[in-house]
């Protein structure tokens, strides 16, 4: 197994693929390996976005964790410096205008789909979503794939470009990678839950030890062989 550097120079194990595997297949297999390399839930979105950008070149890759009923949005962008103040609020105000989001919410279709599947460029530019959000990023083309999540939560990766739409082979690559993104996310989430359970158990044990240390010591006649009333006679 060869060591290949993933996002931010992290070493990721790679299989030695046979010569019959062409360049595109090799890139996809390396991306599949790569998404499983990060098992920390907090770091997973940034890592996965980096893997996606290596597989499918894009100006911005984003991880979106939305709860429209609660008005909650968590958006992780790669590169992070493109984010701007008020971005989350503007996105939530206009998210219903994104046909890819509507496709997921209304039909449960996880994609991947491109904005150009539903909107012409003129239609896109006429939307407040474009004027308030995408135009500020310079986004004109988007490819998105969602992960399974309990409603109303929405989990999705988006790839975004300014100058060229996504080709069919790139959509196929994202479709092939999507189930692995889901499994890798599940692994990171389950491990995070196990860590929380362990920390809670450790805290409970520490609290029990402190209570035992502070509790008054009572002499047990089963251990000393003397009745408890012997202590009071001795004091007298």
Contacts for 136 with CB less than 8 Å, ≥ 6 apart: 84
Q: Is residue 224 part of a domain?
A: no
CATH of the domain at 147: 3.30.450.80
Tell me the torsion sign for CA atoms 112, 114, 119, 125: positive
Helix pair angle (23-35, 44-55), 10° resolution:
180
Q: What is the pLDDT of residues 90-138, one digit of tens each?
A: 999 999 999 999 999 999 999 999 999 999 999 999 999 999 999 999 9
Number of domains forming the structure of the chain? 1
Q: What is the mean pLDDT of the chain?
A: 87
Return the pLDDT at 89.
94
Q: Is residue 185 part of a domain?
A: yes
Q: Is residue 125 part of a domain?
A: yes
CB 183 within 8 A of CB 217: no
Confidence (pTM): 0.79
How many angstroms separate the CA atoms of 186 and 91, rounded? 26
Omega before 108 cis (within 30°)? no
Q: What is the pLDDT of residues 20-56, one digit of tens each?
A: 568 899 999 999 999 999 999 999 999 999 999 999 9
Q: Is residue 40 part of a domain?
A: yes
Closest to 144 measured CA to CA, from 99, 188, 180: 99
Q: Residue 159's domain spans which residues? A: 2-191
């Amino acid at each position: 197994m060869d060591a290949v550097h993933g996002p931010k120079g992290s070493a990721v194990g790679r299989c030695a693929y046979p010569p019959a595997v062409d360049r595109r297949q090799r890139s996809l297999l390396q991306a599949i390996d790569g998404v499983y390399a990060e098992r920390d839930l907090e770091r997973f979105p940034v890592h996965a976005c980096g893997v996606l950008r290596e597989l499918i070149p894009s100006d911005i890759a984003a991880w979106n964790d939305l709860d429209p009923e609660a008005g909650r949005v968590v958006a992780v962008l790669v590169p992070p410096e493109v984010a701007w103040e008020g971005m989350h609020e503007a996105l939530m105000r206009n998210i219903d205008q994104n046909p890819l989001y509507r496709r997921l919410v209304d039909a449960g279709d996880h994609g991947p789909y491109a904005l150009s599947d539903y909107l012409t460029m003129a239609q896109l530019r006429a939307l407040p979503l474009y004027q308030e959000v995408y135009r500020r990023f310079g986004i004109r083309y988007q490819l998105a794939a969602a992960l399974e999540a309990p409603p109303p939560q929405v989990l999705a990766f988006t790839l975004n470009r300014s100058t060229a739409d996504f080709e069919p082979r790139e959509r196929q690559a994202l479709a092939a990678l999507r189930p692995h993104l889901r499994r890798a996310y599940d692994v990171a989430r389950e491990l995070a839950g196990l860590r929380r359970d362990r920390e809670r158990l450790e805290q409970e044990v520490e609290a029990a030890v402190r209570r035992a240390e502070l509790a008054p010591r009572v002499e047990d006649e089963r251990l000393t062989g003397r009745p408890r009333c012997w202590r009071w006679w001795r004091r007298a």
